[in-house]
């Protein structure tokens, strides 16, 4: 008999790039467009790794496309026994889906294009700023899987300016972190979600994995380097560094 989740000495998780999504309207066609998109891009990989089997819709989709999965004897059993102990994911923004997206204005993101959400502000790269969307996503994940959840990426990509005295005033990033951490507290204390951990992206400026740019900065520490390789790699603490330092020291109680 395989060990239960509680009996395992070493816990393992997964990493899902989880983006929340909404239907454009209450038109059933838009609602279906969101559900269909979510199946393929939000839930499929988690369903397999958490539940231990391929969902029925994917099996039928592969069959229609003439794809037959090659399986050895015992593969299905291994998949069922090798499920993850917790669901870990990244969260940055949310998208809007519609049955006819060409009829609506779009916003550019790093990975894909989404219909612009008129209710939300955007970053300089067209990513929506949606802390409530994180609460919605956490509740959806918890309700779907009923295993501990961990946020392993969450942050604010922006163009930062280092002043002559070395300071970097990134109030937008502070606002983003404050509102998202507050939502995490509500999700745990009000909704009862088992949120086991949180790590932001990221502590120090690095080349953006999405665009290959240095100018899209996520860190709390500024690194002197531009997209053309100019700079001496010296480092400066941004205002967000001191804000997050306060948050950590207070164990998340001081979010002011």
If you average pLDDT over every residue of the chain, what do you get? 92
130, 120 contact by CB (below 8 A) = yes
Q: How far apart are CA 160 and CA 176, in angstroms?
A: 14
Mean pLDDT along residues 131-145:
98
Backbone torsion region of residue 192, taken as left when φ is above 0, otherwise alpha when ψ lies between -120 and 50, otherwise beta: left
Q: How many CA atoms lie within 13 A of 84 on its CB side?
A: 21
Between 48 and 110, the more confident residue is 48
Q: How far apart are CA 185 and CA 165, in angstroms?
A: 36
Tell me the per-residue pLDDT of 154-166, one tens digit each, with 9 for 90 and over.
Answer: 999 999 999 999 9
């Amino acid at each position: 008999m395989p060990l239960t989740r509680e009996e395992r000495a070493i816990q393992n998780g997964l990493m899902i790039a989880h983006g929340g999504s909404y239907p454009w309207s209450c038109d059933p066609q838009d609602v279906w467009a969101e559900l269909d998109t979510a199946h393929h891009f939000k839930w499929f990989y988690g369903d397999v790794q958490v539940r231990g089997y391929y969902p029925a819709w994917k099996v039928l989709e592969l069959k229609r496309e003439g794809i037959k999965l090659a399986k050895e004897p015992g593969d299905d059993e291994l998949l069922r026994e090798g499920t993850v102990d917790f669901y870990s994911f990244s969260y940055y923004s949310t998208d809007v889906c519609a049955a006819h997206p060409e009829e609506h204005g779009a916003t550019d993101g790093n990975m894909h294009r989404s219909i612009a959400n008129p209710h939300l502000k955007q970053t300089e790269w067209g990513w929506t700023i949606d802390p409530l969307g994180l609460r919605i996503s956490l509740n959806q994940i918890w309700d779907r899987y009923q295993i501990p959840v961990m946020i392993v990426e969450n942050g604010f990509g922006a163009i930062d300016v280092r002043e002559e005295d070395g300071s970097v005033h990134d109030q937008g990033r502070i606002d983003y972190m404050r509102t998202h951490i507050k939502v995490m507290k509500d999700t745990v204390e009000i909704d009862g979600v088992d949120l086991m951990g949180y790590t932001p992206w990221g502590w120090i400026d690095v080349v953006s994995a999405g665009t290959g740019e240095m100018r899209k900065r996520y860190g709390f520490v500024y690194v002197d380097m531009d997209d053309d390789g100019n700079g001496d790699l010296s480092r400066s603490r941004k205002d967000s560094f001191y804000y997050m330092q306060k948050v950590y020291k207070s164990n998340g109680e001081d979010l002011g």
